[in-house]
Structure 1
Amino acid sequence: MRLIRILFMVIVVVALGLVGLVMLLPGEKIARLAADQVKAMTGRDLVFEGEVGISWYPVLGVSTGPVTLSNADWSTGGAMFQAESAAIGVDVMSALSGNIRITRIEAVAPDVLLEKAADGRVNWALVPAGDAPDDEGAKAAGPARQVSLELLSIRKARVRYVDHGGDRFEVADLDLDLRWPGVDQPAEIAVTARPAGKDVEIAATVGRLDDLLAGAVSSLGATIKAAGGRVDFDGRVGMAPEAAGRVVADLPDSAAFLRALGLEAGLTGRARMEGEVTLTRAQTLSLRKGIVTALGNTVNAEADVALGGKRPKVTANIVAGKLNLDAMMGGGADSGTTAPADGWSKAPIDTSALGLVDGRVVFGAEAIDLGGIDIGRTRAVVEIDNARAVATLKELAAYEGAVQGTFVANGRSGFSVRGDLSMRQIALKGLLGATAGLNRFTGKADMTMDFLGAGGSVQAIMDSLQGSGNVAVGRGTIEGIDLDKLFRGDPTGGTTVFDQMSASWTIDKGVMKNDDLLMELPKVIARGKGSVGLGKRRIDYTLTPQLRREDGKGLAVPVKVEGRWDNPRITPDMDAVLKQNLAEERKALEEEATKRVEEELGIVKEEGQSTEDAVKKRLEDEAKKGLLKLLGQD
């Protein structure tokens, strides 16, 4: 018993001595020791400012004022880490057993700068390459220490990311909690970010945090929640950065979710995306088996995005069934930008999307509704380069016919559109009704056209249009006027049936002009000329049908079409009828009367002499003869 008491007293004395030693050791000394250890392991300077406090049992703790960790030697951006204050707590008993049990790490208002150099180096690689022990060294060193972290707590953090060869961003007012029970246990991470003033919550479970921090790959399950929806990821990640796994985004209110992330709300309503996503160390993002549902449409997509350049470069293949793009064309709810009756919308066109990416997208759909313009089976290729998009229509079925050609949208300097299209056997009534509100024409048309317009709104583009085109139509009709009835004296209503029609046009400053319209009917031939104001949506055109005669002098009745093109006035020009046809009849009567006068008077005209002068001379001669006879000189 005496021996036991002596051993107990020795242990107590030693323990009290150790406690006294810890209590007598100044906090600044502990801070210097920690700084020296960080310097030895990373080559970075860890600087504590102000008073350093210490607690000893049961938690060995250090609390500091401002603390700074220097950046990599190649960086010129300032400290990698700085905070207003920090605190660290370590379990003493675990430390005595050779393990490291960190009870808490706290940082207030830390400012973290993460940088990636143009050559690929990153400033968060704190342990230089080659310093990690190899497997043999680790075995020689004995059993690995057990490491655990009860709580890492960061409040009001700012994180800046700078890629000196690419993008940069900043997240402020960030809160983070990390719990890591042991080196062989999953780590739980909870982050609250406020990029647009509203909470965005991120919850993640890292399978092997030690592997992840050492540069290896670890399993990761993560969820992002914000107003309007959530995004889930289940896969593997690395610090390179690299990742592979399945992503499911379910957004009942996509606009609210995007706004919470500080992004432009390019979507509205419910949206959902799922697929297999891979991010490689070479900064290539891939999507496979992608299914995207948005704006009431579902598409299947596969894509590769190269993130390393000035802009992401996209190579994608998108396939859809029937698409309804009415919402994207300004349909649906009133947006306050409805076009006036005599023009088009003056709302500014947002062309920023053209400059977001470069690349090539192959697109296919079975049908597309463009807000009243119905398109059938479509195959197209869209190529985007430096804010200029070129869409090549390989196949487009529309209004019983087919369309091919190119369409260009250029946002490099202002905004302009250009088209070069060829249409075959297009039903005029459907096409003109959907695009111009004209429902009077029927028939199948072959058409070619090119156009160029520039401006910041649809109205400005329509007012600036330049271009040309031609059209040829087989058998068709014009509703609202019957040319046969018109020639019988009835100018009201009816339908004109024609055998063929052709025309060409030019467009200058938004006004389309035509002077060679030719329409052939069994008993009538019609010609037309005039102008159509594409910007003002008005028409001023004259169609002149004429009865067929071999000498080409049949009765002609001009018909004026004028006013708003969706409801024009169609009236026969009776003044022109009278002037034209009475002038011809009067000329014929005058010629007949003159001929009879000449015959009755026996007038023989000299060369170049008019009938009037010949009659006058004949009268003068007769009067002269009568006078001489009267004077007895005959």
Structure 2
Amino acid sequence: MKVIRGILAAVALLAVAAVVLVVALPGEKIAKLAADQVKAQTGRELAFEGEVGISWFPVLGVRTEAVTFANAAWSEQGPMFQAESAVIGVDVMAAMGGDIRIKTVELVAPDVILEVAQDGRANWELEAGRGAASAEPTEPAAEASSTEASSALSRITLERLVLSEARVRYVENGALVQDIAGLALELRWPEVTAPAQFSVSAAPFGEEIAAEATVTDPLRLFRGANTRVSLALNAAGGRAGFEGQFGLAPEASGRLEVEASDGAAFLAALGAGGIDGPLAASGDVTLTRERLFSLRGGSLEALGNALTLQADVDLNGVRPKVAAQVATRRLQLAGSAQPAETTSAGGGAETGGWSKDPIDASALNFVDGTISFAAEEMDLGGIVLGKTRATVEIENARAVATINEMAAFGGTVQGTFVANNRNGLSVRGDLTAAQIGLKPFLSATADIDRFTGSADARGTFLSSGNTLDALMNAMSGEGNLSVGRGTIDGIDLDRLLRGDVTGGTTVFDNMAASWTISEGVLSNQDLVMGLPRLAATGAGTVGLGLQTIDYLFTPQVRGQDGPALMVPVKIRGSWHNPSIVPDLEAAIKSGFQADLDAIEDSVKEAVQGELGLQAEEGQSTEDAIKDKLENEAKKGLLNLLGGN
């Protein structure tokens, strides 16, 4: 019991002595003592403005008004830290022993500047006892200074740090990169050899972001080395986590995982573009102090797609430079290349033209580099493609996609497609198709399902505009097409030539055509189609922008000396419901022209004989009859007037 009473008495005596020490020292002297200690340990000025008083609760310490902490000597951004007021609680007994054991620091409206110079120096790298004007030390002296700094840092302990209504700015090469206001932070670091725990909350883009982190060895972090870090971030129903090594350079290496039930809301809270629907991503990431980023074993699930990724990114330069590989079993893209639909007055659906919604091609401005893509199947909103292998090269907002392999509509497609967003959006293509099915191709791209057969084709196109409607109406280009055996639904040419116009199906042996495109209008003048007993030609225009057709299709019965009978067919109107009408007047005229000519000749001979005409050399029968009638009229008129 005596021992216990002795211990209690000693503790009480020490407590009283501590209180007396604090009361005996004015607040200004405590502040000066703290400032001197900080200067000795960090080489930076700590300044207190206004009144400095004693804080009794919850811990002994000082309460100040405005406080500032100097920036690095090379910085021109002003103080690294400043606050409207501060409460600093210290362990008085530890301070008497030469250690700075800070129990708590509470800062109101602090303003922090984190800065990285062009040569890579960071303003949070503290060097004990080195002034701004000190000369560069020799190598042994530098090693001693580093040892002293490490020793100094090991004597500083901050058990609890609280920031409210804080502002943090990140400056790189003199330019402001990030500015976060309304930030709240709490740091818990009970022992210098123990891990430190952080909790941070802020709403830089409207929605609150909350993060918690554990730093295994803060001293290693402050010395510029890497340490183990665990980070968990929550925002708008989503979360992100990182486990691995981290350094203030900045540099990192570890596992990154992201999961959100609402990808658009989660990314919007982080200031990024939205992705509708659930979002999940993971991968092993590495960031070096040379600003080189790599992703290995990456996966992304978004918009109903599951992709695997790996990438190397150079973050130096005007835009990040990417070398990436992306692969998926099935890719489904939102939206559709089909025409927009509106509702007619009668309640049915009818075509309203191409979409006039603006096309956002801003993604082309974000990165440069090369991206390789592989998919086993792609659904482009109604257009389903098969196995695809392609490479996209992006440079200064211009992307060139090279299609090395693409299974499409039962055939294959190869070629290049260019999208340029340097001065408004423009597109260009040079594509070659082999053995593609006409019916699935025309059904998917133009809502036309009357043709069957396999086609070989090559086409080029060029256009510009910020909507699909503008692109289609401004298109120019050229191409050609050849088709083997196929059919045309809705027209039976054999029956048509026999006078039956009730429809049916035409079977043809081959078809070939070429075209040009100007201002959204495709023009074809040389369609040739071979049929078992017929031949057919065609010419006309197709309005790619207006989705209209004005075409004359002319089937012909084959004769020994040429076409025996022709029945032209006019195809006019909308792509989706064209009018198909045979031109019977032209058919009759063409089919019986020889007979009509013979009848006309016989009539002329009879009139000549009756009138006693004799056509002069070079004079037609019509002119001879006319002259005869004029002369007879003159004679009659003279007789009437009494002349000779």
Same fold (TM over 0.5): yes
Question: For residues 140 and 199 of structure 1, do their structure 2 counterparts lie closer, same or farther at Cα, with a shift above 3 Å needed?
Answer: closer
The amino acid across from 2:465 in the alignment is G
Query: Counterparts in 2 of 1:351-362, with a 5 A limit?
Result: 351-362=361-372
Question: For 2:221, which of 208, 212, 225 is the aligned residue?
Answer: 212
Equivalent pairs, count: 608
Q: Which residue of 1 aligns with 2:62?
A: 62
Q: Are 1:263 and 2:272 an aligned pair?
A: yes
The amino acid across from 1:269 in the alignment is G
Question: For residues 217 and 476 of structure 1, do their structure 2 counterparts lie closer, same or farther at Cα, with a shift above 3 Å needed?
Answer: same
CA contact (8 A) 1:342 1:537 kept: no
Supply the distance in 2 between the matched residues of 1:334 and 1:23 (Cα, whole angstroms): 82
Question: For residues 461 and 9 of structure 1, do their structure 2 counterparts lie closer, same or farther at Cα, with a shift above 3 Å needed?
Answer: closer
Question: For residues 165 and 587 of structure 1, do their structure 2 counterparts lie closer, same or farther at Cα, with a shift above 3 Å needed?
Answer: farther
Query: Counterparts in 2 of 1:158-177, with a 5 A limit?
Result: 158-164=167-173, 168-177=177-186
Supply the distance in 1 between the matched residues of 2:173 and 2:10 (Cα, whole angstroms): 61
CA displacement at 1:69 relative to structure 2: 2.1
Supply the distance in 2 between the matched residues of 1:209 and 1:136 (Cα, whole angstroms): 16
Question: For residues 415 and 618 of structure 1, do their structure 2 counterparts lie closer, same or farther at Cα, with a shift above 3 Å needed?
Answer: closer
Q: Which residue of 1 aligns with 2:299?
A: 291
Question: For residues 137 and 528 of structure 1, do their structure 2 counterparts lie closer, same or farther at Cα, with a shift above 3 Å needed?
Answer: closer
The amino acid across from 2:313 in the alignment is V
Supply the distance in 2 between the matched residues of 1:475 and 1:11 (Cα, whole angstroms): 105
Secondary structure at the aligned position of 2:159 is classed as: strand
CA contact (8 A) 1:146 1:182 kept: no
CA displacement at 1:148 relative to structure 2: 3.6
CA displacement at 1:506 relative to structure 2: 1.2
The percent of aligned pairs where both chains have the same amino acid is 53
- Residues 156-193 of structure 1, C-alpha deviations (whole Å, 9 max, x = no match): 11111122288712211111111012122111111111
Supply the distance in 1 between the matched residues of 2:11 and 2:105 (Cα, whole angstroms): 31
Question: For residues 10 and 491 of structure 1, do their structure 2 counterparts lie closer, same or farther at Cα, with a shift above 3 Å needed?
Answer: closer
Supply the distance in 2 between the matched residues of 1:452 and 1:171 (Cα, whole angstroms): 45
CA contact (8 A) 1:157 1:172 kept: yes
Query: Counterparts in 2 of 1:184-333, with a 5 A limit?
Result: 184-265=193-274, 267-325=275-333, 327-329=334-336
Supply the distance in 1 between the matched residues of 2:234 and 2:595 (Cα, whole angstroms): 87
Q: Are 1:532 and 2:542 an aligned pair?
A: yes
CA contact (8 A) 2:437 2:455 kept: yes
Q: Which residue of 1 aligns with 2:106?
A: 106
Secondary structure at the aligned position of 1:215 is classed as: coil
Q: Which residue of 2 aligns with 1:88?
A: 88
CA displacement at 1:321 relative to structure 2: 0.7
Supply the distance in 2 between the matched residues of 1:230 and 1:45 (Cα, whole angstroms): 40
Secondary structure at the aligned position of 1:272 is classed as: strand
The amino acid across from 2:263 in the alignment is S
Question: For residues 573 and 255 of structure 1, do their structure 2 counterparts lie closer, same or farther at Cα, with a shift above 3 Å needed?
Answer: same
Question: For residues 441 and 58 of structure 1, do their structure 2 counterparts lie closer, same or farther at Cα, with a shift above 3 Å needed?
Answer: closer
- Residues 431-483 of structure 1, C-alpha deviations (whole Å, 9 max, x = no match): 11011101001111111111111111111111111111111111111111111
CA contact (8 A) 1:229 1:250 kept: yes
Supply the distance in 1 between the matched residues of 2:403 and 2:531 (Cα, whole angstroms): 36
Secondary structure at the aligned position of 1:28 is classed as: helix
CA contact (8 A) 2:342 2:351 kept: no
CA displacement at 1:12 relative to structure 2: 10
Query: Counterparts in 2 of 1:13-52, with a 5 A limit?
Result: 20=20, 22-52=22-52
Question: For residues 27 and 599 of structure 1, do their structure 2 counterparts lie closer, same or farther at Cα, with a shift above 3 Å needed?
Answer: same
Supply the distance in 2 between the matched residues of 1:439 and 1:461 (Cα, whole angstroms): 24
- Residues 324-373 of structure 1, C-alpha deviations (whole Å, 9 max, x = no match): 22x25489x9999xx97141111111122111111110000111011110
CA contact (8 A) 1:59 1:92 kept: no
Question: For residues 154 and 365 of structure 1, do their structure 2 counterparts lie closer, same or farther at Cα, with a shift above 3 Å needed?
Answer: same
Secondary structure at the aligned position of 1:244 is classed as: strand
Supply the distance in 1 between the matched residues of 2:471 and 2:105 (Cα, whole angstroms): 61
Question: For residues 113 and 615 of structure 1, do their structure 2 counterparts lie closer, same or farther at Cα, with a shift above 3 Å needed?
Answer: closer
CA displacement at 1:573 relative to structure 2: 1.7
Q: Which residue of 1 aligns with 2:516?
A: 506
Supply the distance in 1 between the matched residues of 2:468 and 2:526 (Cα, whole angstroms): 29
- Residues 117-143 of structure 1, C-alpha deviations (whole Å, 9 max, x = no match): 2222222223269788659967998x9
The amino acid across from 2:277 in the alignment is G
Secondary structure at the aligned position of 1:310 is classed as: coil
The amino acid across from 2:332 in the alignment is N
CA displacement at 1:307 relative to structure 2: 1.1
CA contact (8 A) 1:556 1:581 kept: yes
CA displacement at 1:204 relative to structure 2: 0.8
Secondary structure at the aligned position of 1:377 is classed as: strand
Q: Are 1:554 and 2:564 an aligned pair?
A: yes
Secondary structure at the aligned position of 1:554 is classed as: strand
CA contact (8 A) 2:337 2:382 kept: no
CA contact (8 A) 1:603 1:618 kept: yes
The amino acid across from 1:70 in the alignment is A
The amino acid across from 1:173 in the alignment is G
Deviates more, 1:120-129 or 1:419-428: 120-129
Secondary structure at the aligned position of 1:124 is classed as: coil
Supply the distance in 2 between the matched residues of 1:360 and 1:156 (Cα, whole angstroms): 43
The amino acid across from 1:543 in the alignment is F
With normalisation by structure 2, the TM-score equals 0.86
Q: Which residue of 2 aligns with 1:179?
A: 188
Question: For residues 328 and 278 of structure 1, do their structure 2 counterparts lie closer, same or farther at Cα, with a shift above 3 Å needed?
Answer: farther
Supply the distance in 1 between the matched residues of 2:446 and 2:304 (Cα, whole angstroms): 27
CA displacement at 1:59 relative to structure 2: 4.3
With normalisation by structure 1, the TM-score equals 0.88
Secondary structure at the aligned position of 1:376 is classed as: strand
CA contact (8 A) 1:452 1:465 kept: yes
CA displacement at 1:58 relative to structure 2: 9.3
Secondary structure at the aligned position of 2:351 is classed as: coil
CA displacement at 1:82 relative to structure 2: 1.4
Q: Are 1:413 and 2:446 an aligned pair?
A: no
- Residues 192-234 of structure 1, C-alpha deviations (whole Å, 9 max, x = no match): 1112232211111111011111111100111111112111111
Secondary structure at the aligned position of 1:555 is classed as: strand
CA displacement at 1:39 relative to structure 2: 3.9
Deviates more, 1:96-105 or 1:209-218: 96-105
CA contact (8 A) 1:233 1:245 kept: yes
The amino acid across from 2:361 in the alignment is T
Secondary structure at the aligned position of 1:459 is classed as: helix
CA displacement at 1:581 relative to structure 2: 4.0
Supply the distance in 1 between the matched residues of 2:145 and 2:29 (Cα, whole angstroms): 34
Question: For residues 15 and 514 of structure 1, do their structure 2 counterparts lie closer, same or farther at Cα, with a shift above 3 Å needed?
Answer: closer
Unmatched 5+ residue regions in structure 2? 1-7, 131-135, 344-348, 631-644
CA contact (8 A) 2:202 2:210 kept: yes
Unmatched 5+ residue regions in structure 1? 1-7, 621-634
The amino acid across from 1:466 in the alignment is S
- Residues 484-513 of structure 1, C-alpha deviations (whole Å, 9 max, x = no match): 110010011101111111111111111111
CA displacement at 1:591 relative to structure 2: 3.2
Supply the distance in 2 between the matched residues of 1:362 and 1:172 (Cα, whole angstroms): 40
Supply the distance in 2 between the matched residues of 1:403 and 1:371 (Cα, whole angstroms): 18
Deviates more, 1:82-91 or 1:486-495: 82-91
CA contact (8 A) 1:273 1:291 kept: yes
Question: For residues 222 and 611 of structure 1, do their structure 2 counterparts lie closer, same or farther at Cα, with a shift above 3 Å needed?
Answer: same
Question: For 2:164, which of 150, 155, 162 is the aligned residue?
Answer: 155
Supply the distance in 1 between the matched residues of 2:154 and 2:119 (Cα, whole angstroms): 35
CA contact (8 A) 2:455 2:484 kept: yes
Supply the distance in 2 between the matched residues of 1:358 and 1:162 (Cα, whole angstroms): 24
Supply the distance in 2 between the matched residues of 1:448 and 1:556 (Cα, whole angstroms): 31
Secondary structure at the aligned position of 1:382 is classed as: strand
For the aligned residue pairs, the C-alpha RMSD in angstroms reads 3.4
CA contact (8 A) 2:464 2:471 kept: yes
Secondary structure at the aligned position of 2:517 is classed as: strand
CA displacement at 1:248 relative to structure 2: 1.2
CA contact (8 A) 1:178 1:187 kept: yes
Question: For residues 612 and 320 of structure 1, do their structure 2 counterparts lie closer, same or farther at Cα, with a shift above 3 Å needed?
Answer: closer
CA contact (8 A) 1:89 1:102 kept: yes
Query: Counterparts in 2 of 1:416-565, with a 5 A limit?
Result: 416-565=426-575
CA displacement at 1:559 relative to structure 2: 0.8
